[in-house]
Amino acid sequence: MAVGGRYAGKVVLVTGGGRGIGAGIVRAFESGSQALVQELPGTVFMPCDVTREEEVGALIADTLHRFGHLDCVVNNAGYHPPPQWPEETSAQSFRQLLELNLLATYTLTKLALPHLRKSQGNVINISSLVGAIGQGQAAPYVATKGAVTAMTKALALDESQYGVRVNCISPGNIWTPLWEELAASTPDPEATIQEGTMAQPLGRMGQPAEVGAAALFLASEASFCTGLELLVTGGAELGYGCKASHRTPVG
Protein backbone atom coordinates (compact mmCIF):
# COMPACT_ATOMS: atom_id res chain seq x y z
CA MET A 1 0.00 0.00 0.00
CA ALA A 2 1.03 3.62 -0.58
CA VAL A 3 0.91 5.37 2.77
CA GLY A 4 -0.32 8.75 3.93
CA GLY A 5 0.05 10.62 7.20
CA ARG A 6 3.29 10.32 9.18
CA TYR A 7 4.81 7.88 6.67
CA ALA A 8 3.60 9.72 3.57
CA GLY A 9 4.92 8.62 0.20
CA LYS A 10 6.21 5.28 1.48
CA VAL A 11 5.16 1.82 0.31
CA VAL A 12 4.48 -0.80 3.00
CA LEU A 13 3.81 -4.50 2.48
CA VAL A 14 1.83 -6.08 5.35
CA THR A 15 1.12 -9.81 5.40
CA GLY A 16 -2.08 -11.03 7.02
CA GLY A 17 -3.53 -7.53 6.73
CA GLY A 18 -7.16 -8.50 6.33
CA ARG A 19 -8.14 -8.81 9.99
CA GLY A 20 -6.94 -8.69 13.59
CA ILE A 21 -3.51 -7.22 14.28
CA GLY A 22 -2.74 -7.02 10.56
CA ALA A 23 -5.82 -4.91 9.92
CA GLY A 24 -4.86 -2.65 12.83
CA ILE A 25 -1.44 -2.15 11.26
CA VAL A 26 -2.92 -1.33 7.85
CA ARG A 27 -5.28 1.22 9.40
CA ALA A 28 -2.44 2.84 11.34
CA PHE A 29 -0.34 3.39 8.24
CA GLU A 30 -3.41 4.76 6.44
CA SER A 31 -3.89 7.52 9.02
CA GLY A 32 -6.33 5.69 11.26
CA SER A 33 -9.18 5.06 8.83
CA GLN A 34 -11.85 2.68 10.08
CA ALA A 35 -12.30 0.69 6.86
CA LEU A 36 -9.96 -1.52 4.92
CA VAL A 37 -11.11 -1.39 1.34
CA GLN A 38 -13.65 1.33 0.63
CA GLU A 39 -11.99 3.96 2.80
CA LEU A 40 -8.31 3.10 2.19
CA PRO A 41 -7.67 4.33 -1.33
CA GLY A 42 -3.91 3.73 -1.11
CA THR A 43 -4.33 0.09 -0.09
CA VAL A 44 -4.29 -2.91 -2.42
CA PHE A 45 -5.14 -6.36 -1.07
CA MET A 46 -3.39 -9.20 -2.87
CA PRO A 47 -3.92 -12.93 -2.16
CA CYS A 48 -0.70 -14.77 -1.30
CA ASP A 49 0.20 -18.02 0.41
CA VAL A 50 3.23 -16.79 2.34
CA THR A 51 4.48 -20.34 2.82
CA ARG A 52 5.08 -20.65 -0.96
CA GLU A 53 8.23 -18.84 -2.09
CA GLU A 54 7.04 -18.41 -5.67
CA GLU A 55 3.88 -16.64 -4.50
CA VAL A 56 5.89 -14.39 -2.19
CA GLY A 57 8.19 -13.48 -5.08
CA ALA A 58 5.17 -12.65 -7.22
CA LEU A 59 3.75 -10.52 -4.40
CA ILE A 60 6.91 -8.43 -4.23
CA ALA A 61 7.07 -8.12 -8.02
CA ASP A 62 3.42 -6.98 -8.13
CA THR A 63 4.05 -4.44 -5.38
CA LEU A 64 7.01 -2.98 -7.25
CA HIS A 65 5.04 -2.92 -10.50
CA ARG A 66 2.17 -1.05 -8.87
CA PHE A 67 4.12 1.38 -6.70
CA GLY A 68 7.67 1.47 -8.04
CA HIS A 69 9.51 0.96 -4.75
CA LEU A 70 9.28 -0.70 -1.34
CA ASP A 71 10.04 0.97 1.99
CA CYS A 72 8.77 -1.32 4.73
CA VAL A 73 7.78 -4.96 5.18
CA VAL A 74 5.61 -6.03 8.11
CA ASN A 75 5.69 -9.80 8.63
CA ASN A 76 2.43 -10.30 10.47
CA ALA A 77 0.85 -13.47 9.02
CA GLY A 78 0.81 -16.24 11.58
CA TYR A 79 -1.28 -18.65 13.60
CA HIS A 80 -1.69 -19.72 17.22
CA PRO A 81 -3.03 -23.31 17.54
CA PRO A 82 -5.51 -24.20 20.28
CA PRO A 83 -3.97 -25.33 23.60
CA GLN A 84 -2.22 -28.69 23.34
CA TRP A 85 -0.08 -30.72 25.72
CA PRO A 86 3.22 -31.80 24.14
CA GLU A 87 2.02 -35.40 23.68
CA GLU A 88 -0.97 -34.09 21.70
CA THR A 89 1.21 -32.35 19.13
CA SER A 90 2.85 -33.89 16.10
CA ALA A 91 6.04 -33.27 14.16
CA GLN A 92 3.97 -32.62 11.04
CA SER A 93 1.83 -29.92 12.67
CA PHE A 94 4.98 -28.38 14.13
CA ARG A 95 6.56 -28.25 10.64
CA GLN A 96 3.45 -26.55 9.24
CA LEU A 97 3.53 -23.96 12.02
CA LEU A 98 7.22 -23.32 11.39
CA GLU A 99 6.45 -22.79 7.69
CA LEU A 100 3.90 -20.10 8.48
CA ASN A 101 5.21 -18.39 11.61
CA LEU A 102 8.95 -18.48 10.93
CA LEU A 103 9.98 -19.54 7.44
CA ALA A 104 7.45 -17.24 5.75
CA THR A 105 8.94 -14.32 7.65
CA TYR A 106 12.41 -15.37 6.53
CA THR A 107 11.36 -15.82 2.90
CA LEU A 108 9.56 -12.50 2.49
CA THR A 109 12.36 -10.62 4.23
CA LYS A 110 15.06 -12.30 2.12
CA LEU A 111 13.28 -11.50 -1.14
CA ALA A 112 12.44 -7.94 -0.09
CA LEU A 113 15.91 -6.98 1.15
CA PRO A 114 17.40 -5.98 -2.23
CA HIS A 115 14.60 -3.43 -2.61
CA LEU A 116 14.69 -2.28 1.01
CA ARG A 117 18.42 -1.67 0.68
CA LYS A 118 17.75 0.71 -2.21
CA SER A 119 15.26 2.69 -0.15
CA GLN A 120 17.08 2.23 3.19
CA GLY A 121 13.80 0.91 4.43
CA ASN A 122 12.94 -1.32 7.36
CA VAL A 123 11.45 -4.65 8.41
CA ILE A 124 8.99 -5.14 11.26
CA ASN A 125 8.35 -8.70 12.44
CA ILE A 126 5.36 -9.54 14.62
CA SER A 127 6.60 -11.90 17.31
CA SER A 128 4.94 -12.54 20.69
CA LEU A 129 5.58 -11.94 24.36
CA VAL A 130 5.39 -15.69 24.94
CA GLY A 131 8.51 -16.15 22.82
CA ALA A 132 10.39 -14.65 25.78
CA ILE A 133 8.38 -15.78 28.81
CA GLY A 134 6.83 -19.06 27.60
CA GLN A 135 3.24 -20.26 27.57
CA GLY A 136 1.60 -23.44 28.75
CA GLN A 137 0.24 -25.94 26.23
CA ALA A 138 1.85 -24.01 23.36
CA ALA A 139 5.40 -25.33 22.94
CA PRO A 140 5.48 -25.27 19.11
CA TYR A 141 3.99 -21.77 18.92
CA VAL A 142 6.36 -20.42 21.56
CA ALA A 143 9.31 -21.95 19.70
CA THR A 144 8.34 -20.27 16.43
CA LYS A 145 7.93 -16.85 18.02
CA GLY A 146 11.13 -17.09 20.03
CA ALA A 147 12.88 -17.85 16.75
CA VAL A 148 11.29 -14.81 15.07
CA THR A 149 12.69 -12.55 17.81
CA ALA A 150 16.14 -14.11 17.56
CA MET A 151 16.16 -13.86 13.77
CA THR A 152 15.18 -10.20 14.03
CA LYS A 153 18.30 -9.44 16.03
CA ALA A 154 20.56 -11.39 13.65
CA LEU A 155 19.11 -9.68 10.58
CA ALA A 156 19.49 -6.29 12.24
CA LEU A 157 23.23 -6.93 12.47
CA ASP A 158 23.51 -8.12 8.87
CA GLU A 159 21.48 -5.29 7.36
CA SER A 160 22.85 -2.35 9.34
CA GLN A 161 25.62 -1.93 6.77
CA TYR A 162 22.94 -1.12 4.19
CA GLY A 163 21.00 1.25 6.41
CA VAL A 164 18.10 -1.21 6.72
CA ARG A 165 16.58 -1.43 10.19
CA VAL A 166 15.03 -4.69 11.43
CA ASN A 167 12.82 -4.64 14.54
CA CYS A 168 10.02 -6.71 16.00
CA ILE A 169 6.88 -6.16 18.03
CA SER A 170 5.95 -8.71 20.69
CA PRO A 171 2.28 -8.27 21.58
CA GLY A 172 0.69 -9.76 24.65
CA ASN A 173 -3.07 -10.34 24.84
CA ILE A 174 -4.60 -8.41 21.94
CA TRP A 175 -8.34 -8.80 21.39
CA THR A 176 -8.62 -10.19 17.87
CA PRO A 177 -10.87 -12.68 16.06
CA LEU A 178 -8.17 -15.32 16.60
CA TRP A 179 -8.14 -14.67 20.36
CA GLU A 180 -11.93 -14.98 20.36
CA GLU A 181 -11.77 -18.23 18.39
CA LEU A 182 -9.18 -19.69 20.75
CA ALA A 183 -11.29 -18.75 23.77
CA ALA A 184 -14.33 -20.39 22.17
CA SER A 185 -12.38 -23.66 21.88
CA THR A 186 -11.90 -23.86 25.67
CA PRO A 187 -14.38 -25.44 28.12
CA ASP A 188 -15.34 -22.05 29.61
CA PRO A 189 -14.82 -19.24 27.06
CA GLU A 190 -15.97 -16.48 29.41
CA ALA A 191 -13.50 -17.58 32.09
CA THR A 192 -10.74 -17.77 29.49
CA ILE A 193 -11.46 -14.23 28.33
CA GLN A 194 -11.53 -12.99 31.91
CA GLU A 195 -8.20 -14.68 32.61
CA GLY A 196 -6.70 -13.06 29.53
CA THR A 197 -8.08 -9.68 30.53
CA MET A 198 -6.71 -9.82 34.06
CA ALA A 199 -3.22 -10.93 32.96
CA GLN A 200 -2.32 -7.27 32.39
CA PRO A 201 -1.73 -4.75 35.18
CA LEU A 202 -3.69 -2.30 33.02
CA GLY A 203 -6.73 -4.57 33.48
CA ARG A 204 -7.66 -4.98 29.83
CA MET A 205 -6.53 -6.58 26.61
CA GLY A 206 -4.83 -4.52 23.94
CA GLN A 207 -6.42 -3.48 20.66
CA PRO A 208 -5.07 -4.07 17.14
CA ALA A 209 -4.86 -0.30 16.69
CA GLU A 210 -2.31 -0.15 19.51
CA VAL A 211 -0.06 -2.65 17.75
CA GLY A 212 -0.57 -0.63 14.58
CA ALA A 213 0.58 2.53 16.35
CA ALA A 214 3.71 0.69 17.50
CA ALA A 215 4.43 -0.46 13.94
CA LEU A 216 3.99 3.05 12.58
CA PHE A 217 6.37 4.37 15.25
CA LEU A 218 9.04 1.80 14.34
CA ALA A 219 8.71 2.54 10.63
CA SER A 220 8.48 6.31 10.72
CA GLU A 221 10.14 7.65 13.85
CA ALA A 222 12.39 5.02 15.45
CA SER A 223 15.27 5.89 13.14
CA PHE A 224 17.96 4.92 15.70
CA CYS A 225 16.34 1.61 16.65
CA THR A 226 17.35 -1.71 15.13
CA GLY A 227 17.27 -5.20 16.62
CA LEU A 228 14.63 -3.91 19.03
CA GLU A 229 11.91 -6.08 20.54
CA LEU A 230 9.07 -3.69 21.37
CA LEU A 231 6.71 -5.17 23.96
CA VAL A 232 3.06 -4.18 23.51
CA THR A 233 1.70 -6.10 26.45
CA GLY A 234 -0.02 -3.88 29.02
CA GLY A 235 2.71 -4.94 31.45
CA ALA A 236 1.76 -8.63 31.43
CA GLU A 237 5.38 -9.67 31.93
CA LEU A 238 5.81 -7.62 35.12
CA GLY A 239 5.72 -8.89 38.68
CA TYR A 240 5.27 -12.26 40.28
CA GLY A 241 2.21 -14.41 39.75
CA CYS A 242 0.74 -17.75 40.72
CA LYS A 243 2.56 -20.22 38.51
CA ALA A 244 2.10 -23.56 40.28
CA SER A 245 -1.02 -25.52 41.11
CA HIS A 246 -1.38 -27.77 44.17
CA ARG A 247 0.57 -30.99 43.65
CA THR A 248 0.03 -34.17 45.65
CA PRO A 249 3.35 -35.68 46.78
CA VAL A 250 4.15 -39.01 45.18
CA GLY A 251 5.37 -42.01 47.19
Contacts of residue 36, Cβ cutoff 8 Å, sequence gap at least 6: 17, 18, 23, 26, 27, 43, 45
Q: Quote the CA–CA distance of 110 and 112 in Å, as a whole number.
A: 6
- How far apart are the C-alpha atoms of 193 and 75, rounded to whole Å? 26
250 class by beta-carbon count within 10 Å (0-12 exposed, 13-18 middle, 19+ buried): exposed
Beta-carbon contacts of residue 130 (< 8 Å; ≥ 6 apart): 138, 141, 142, 145
Domain boundaries, the chain: 5-232
- From the number of C-beta atoms within 10 Å of its C-beta (0-12, 13-18, 19+), residue 113 rates as buried
What backbone torsions phi and psi does residue 18 show, to the nearest 5 degrees? -85, -20
Confidence tier at 31 by pLDDT (50, 70, 90): low
At 35 the pLDDT is: 45
Q: What percent of the chain has pLDDT over 70?
A: 91
pLDDT per residue as tens digits for the range 199-231: 999 999 999 999 999 999 999 999 999 999 999
Burial (0-12, 13-18, 19+ Cβ within 10 Å), 6: middle
Chain mean pLDDT for the chain: 92
Calculate the alpha carbon distances from 135 to 27, 42, 175, 191, 194 in Å.
29, 38, 17, 18, 17
pLDDT digits (tens, 9 = 90+) for 49-94: 999 999 999 999 999 999 999 999 999 999 999 999 999 999 999 9
The CATH class, in words, for 5-232 is alpha beta
- Which active-site residues does the annotation give? 141
| 245 exposure class (CB count in 10 Å sphere: 0-12, 13-18, 19+) | exposed
Are the C-beta atoms of residues 157 and 227 closer than 8 Å to each other? yes
pLDDT band at 162 (very low <50, low <70, confident <90, very high): very high
- Amino acid identity of residue 175, one-letter, is W
* pLDDT value of residue 32: 45
